[in-house]
């Protein structure tokens, strides 16, 4: 729908809050037998929200979509399938709230973020349970994500008062210049399903610290973490209208276009595929809003021959198989020096053989399902393609229908070559394809042969080589002798077709601010 045709209906009329019959908690007759009660596992049942949030209103709709547990395919709930008019009203609400919120003290915003952080940690069990239900990752891993998510609230609580400006000397005698950092305005946040809590806090905490207001559109696969976090934000004292959560599935394209083209929205932050990022950038051109994109990856993991192989395998396991390989920064191409190649593959297979795949709520499970059938099909294709090009399956390599519809066995493919699809496409699944190399230059050529550049890794005990290779890798992030690089204190982001902008760290808040220059004339000369 063209933006010029969107009718600016008032919030009450657009969403019909409290005047239409709520569909929260109701499921279609088709799936009634497979529905589960998420709240049965929660201490605070009110954290499981099946309504969108606009201002102070819990928004319902006559049109909903179902959310399923990827481990069991059971329906865990419904949320409103909002149309463009309802999202337009949410933008209006955020726009109105910005008028007052921009003037709040950064110290007050810091205190709100601190309270939000404390509430997340107090409710970690319930938040992790909701996350496991909608995403499928094991409960212990879900708790790890909640802790990671909360760390951004703590970090940006500290950063909020530190939006320093400068006093500048000018070329004109008697003039001085000041720079002031101010919030950019209303921010649209589009988040993915693989980290449904962390991708919210990493973006929103920086925006709130800067003094912005936010409209969040979580992925339709995983809306409940966003809604639970919004409830805790409300309890922490985030003012009404500062944080809004809109849910949609059938109107996704139209809502995306609105968020990009609407001039009330001054900033768009998106995590997702490169193809969608290009589309959003094109749609944002007319409004000239600020953008930050974290897009596709194809991470190389380079293992040199001077390392402890056991340590190298442990680093890869942490990097490659976390989230069943469904992380933006997981290794996609494992490049191992020929001298340690056979030992590395043998020990990697041994480590993978110790995994337990299953429902994330079951004791001892280390790896859960893939998120949907498309993800399962891609892993299946990459494994078949690797075998067709001479790859050898050393462990795994097949679906696990006995475990569930969306489970795939963690897989190691040896003798990988650049001819395989996995060499050029991000798998986003539990497949470790192991390539050989002989020289440093060969490893760098293989690693940099990608049009994306998000994360990369190098394992070596040679300090000079570590620095040399790190500087030569064409990626936004490099992990040296570690498979874990994500941290609230370090800038997260890529280069090339992996996008631009940085999240987290002292740079993260800059993405949500603009610099204003104030020039003062008529300054008196120095006293004699």
pLDDT per residue as tens digits for the range 108-158: 999 999 999 999 999 999 999 999 999 999 999 999 999 999 999 999 999
Give yes or no: residues 276 and 311 share one domain: no
Both structure tokens of 161: 């008062």
The answer to whether 418 touches 436, Cβ cutoff 8 Å, is no
pLDDT band at 28 (very low <50, low <70, confident <90, very high): very low
- Cα radius of gyration rounded to whole Å, the chain: 24
φ, ψ for residue 32, nearest 5 deg: -55, -40
pLDDT of amino acid 33: 41
State the Cα–Cα distance between residues 282 and 497, nearest whole angstrom: 14
State the Cα–Cα distance between residues 402 and 489, nearest whole angstrom: 42
pLDDT of 21 > 70? The answer is no
Summarize the confidence of residues 233-260 as an average pLDDT: 97
Give yes or no: residues 325 and 242 share one domain: no
Active-site hit among 319, 328, 330, 488: 328
Give a yes or no: residue 506 inside a domain: no
Tell me how far CA of residue 373 lies from CA of 71, 168, 405, 406, in angstroms.
Answer: 12, 57, 8, 6
* pLDDT tens per residue across span 433-466: 999 999 999 999 999 999 999 999 999 999 999 9
Tell me, yes or no, if the pTM score tops 0.85.
Answer: yes
Give a yes or no: residue 28 inside a domain: yes
108 an active-site residue? no
Give yes or no: residues 105 and 139 share one domain: yes
319 an active-site residue? no
Both structure tokens of 173: 């005698």
Last residue of a domain, one of 473, 488, 503: 488
Q: Worst-scoring range by mean pLDDT, 85-94, 123-132, 428-437, 516-525?
A: 516-525
Active-site hit among 294, 426, 510, 511: 294
Burial class (CB in 10 A: 0-12, 13-18, 19+), 19: exposed
Q: Worst-scoring range by mean pLDDT, 3-12, 21-30, 452-461, 476-485?
A: 21-30
Give yes or no: residues 244 and 329 share one domain: no
pLDDT of 195 > 50? The answer is yes
- The residue segments making up the domain with residue 40 are 3-294
The helix/strand/coil state of 313 is helix
- The chain-wide mean pLDDT, for the chain, equals 93
How much of the chain exceeds pLDDT 70, in percent?
A: 93
Both structure tokens of 189: 């946040």
State the Cα–Cα distance between residues 359 and 133, nearest whole angstrom: 9
Give a yes or no: residue 336 inside a domain: yes
* pLDDT tens per residue across span 115-128: 999 999 999 999 99
Give yes or no: residues 339 and 199 share one domain: no
pLDDT of 489 > 50? The answer is yes
| Tally of CB atoms within 10 A around 96 | 17
The helix/strand/coil state of 72 is coil
DSSP assignment letter at 298: -
* pLDDT tens per residue across span 292-314: 999 999 999 999 999 999 999 99
CATH number at residue 69: 3.40.605.10
Give yes or no: residues 232 and 343 share one domain: no
Give a yes or no: residue 79 inside a domain: yes
Both structure tokens of 304: 């040199």
Last residue of a domain, one of 453, 471, 488: 488
Give yes or no: residues 196 and 286 share one domain: yes
State the Cα–Cα distance between residues 238 and 251, nearest whole angstrom: 28
Give a yes or no: residue 437 inside a domain: yes
Give a yes or no: residue 521 inside a domain: no
The helix/strand/coil state of 190 is strand
Last residue of a domain, one of 243, 277, 294: 294
State the Cα–Cα distance between residues 250 and 457, nearest whole angstrom: 39
pLDDT of amino acid 155: 98
DSSP of 168-186, one letter per residue?
Answer: EE-SSTT-EEEEEEEE--E
Give yes or no: residues 254 and 385 share one domain: no
Give yes or no: residues 32 and 173 share one domain: yes
* pLDDT tens per residue across span 378-437: 999 999 999 999 999 999 999 999 999 999 999 999 999 999 999 999 999 999 999 999
Both structure tokens of 429: 């699944």
Give yes or no: residues 290 and 310 share one domain: no
pLDDT of amino acid 526: 65
Give a yes or no: residue 402 inside a domain: yes
Give a yes or no: residue 520 inside a domain: no
Residue with tokens 């493919």: 413
Angle at 216 between CA 24 and CA 128, to 5 degrees: 65
DSSP of 456-486, one letter per residue?
Answer: EEEE-S-HHHHHHHHHHS-SSEEEES-S---
Give yes or no: residues 325 and 185 share one domain: no
Give yes or no: residues 100 and 219 share one domain: yes
The answer to whether 208 touches 112, Cβ cutoff 8 Å, is yes
pLDDT of 5 > 50? The answer is no
Number of domains in the chain: 2
pLDDT of amino acid 522: 85
pLDDT band at 527 (very low <50, low <70, confident <90, very high): low
The answer to whether 475 touches 269, Cβ cutoff 8 Å, is no
State the Cα–Cα distance between residues 296 and 467, nearest whole angstrom: 25
């Amino acid at each position: 729908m063209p933006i010029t045709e969107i009718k600016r209906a008032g919030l009450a009329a657009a969403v019909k809050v409290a005047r239409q019959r709520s569909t929260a908690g109701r499921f279609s007759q088709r799936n009634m037998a497979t529905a589960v009660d998420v709240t049965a596992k929660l201490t605070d049942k009110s954290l499981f929200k099946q309504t969108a949030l606009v201002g102070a209103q819990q928004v319902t709709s006559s049109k909903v979509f179902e959310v399923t547990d990827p481990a069991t395919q059971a329906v865990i709930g419904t949320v409103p399938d909002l149309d463009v008019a309802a999202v337009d009203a949410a933008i209006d609400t955020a726009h109105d709230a910005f008028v007052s919120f921009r003037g709040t003290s950064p110290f007050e915003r810091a205190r709100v973020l601190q309270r939000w952080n404390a509430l997340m940690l107090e409710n970690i069990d319930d938040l992790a349970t909701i996350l496991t239900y909608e995403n499928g990752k094991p409960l212990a891993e879900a708790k790890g994500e909640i802790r990671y998510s909360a760390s951004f609230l703590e970090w940006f609580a500290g950063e909020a008062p530190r939006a320093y400006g400068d006093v500048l000397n000018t070329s004109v005698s008697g003039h001085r210049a000041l720079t002031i950092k101010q919030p950019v305005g209303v921010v649209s946040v589009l988040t993915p399903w693989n980290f449904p809590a962390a991708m919210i806090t990493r973006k929103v905490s920086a925006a709130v610290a800067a003094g912005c207001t936010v409209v969040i559109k979580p992925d339709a696969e995983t809306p409940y973490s966003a809604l639970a976090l919004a409830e805790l934000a409300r309890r922490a004292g985030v003012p009404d209208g500062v944080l809004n959560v809109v849910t949609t599935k059938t109107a996704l394209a139209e809502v995306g276009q609105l968020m990009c083209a609407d001039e009330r929205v001054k900033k768009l932050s998106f995590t997702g595929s490169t193809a969608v990022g290009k589309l959003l950038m094109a749609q944002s051109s007319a409004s000239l809003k600020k953008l930050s994109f974290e897009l596709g990856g194809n991470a190389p993991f380079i293992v040199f021959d001077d390392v402890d192989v056991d340590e190298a395998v442990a680093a890869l396991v942490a990097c490659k198989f976390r989230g069943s390989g469904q992380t933006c920064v997981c290794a996609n191409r494992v490049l191992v020096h020929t001298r340690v190649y056979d030992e590395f593959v043998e020990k990697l297979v041994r480590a993978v053989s110790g995994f337990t795949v299953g429902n994330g709520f079951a004791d001892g499970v280390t790896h859960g399902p893939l998120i949907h059938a498309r993800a399962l099909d891609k892993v299946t294709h990459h494994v078949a393609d690797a075998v067709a090009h001479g790859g050898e399956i050393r462990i795994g390599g097949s679906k696990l229908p006995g475990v569930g519809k969306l489970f795939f066995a963690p897989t190691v493919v040896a003798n990988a070559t650049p001819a395989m699809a996995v060499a050029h496409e991000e798998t986003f699944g539990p497949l470790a394809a192991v390539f050989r190399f002989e020289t440093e230059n060969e490893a760098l050529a293989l690693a940099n042969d990608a049009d994306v550049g998000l994360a990369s890794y190098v394992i070596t005990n040679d300090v000079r080589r570590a620095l040399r290779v790190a500087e030569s890798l064409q990626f936004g992030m490099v992990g040296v002798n570690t498979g874990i690089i994500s941290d609230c204190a370090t800038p997260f982001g890529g280069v090339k077709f992996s996008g631009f902008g940085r999240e987290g760290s002292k740079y993260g808040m800059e993405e949500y601010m603009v610099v204003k220059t104030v020039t003062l004339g008529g300054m008196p000369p120095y006293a004699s």
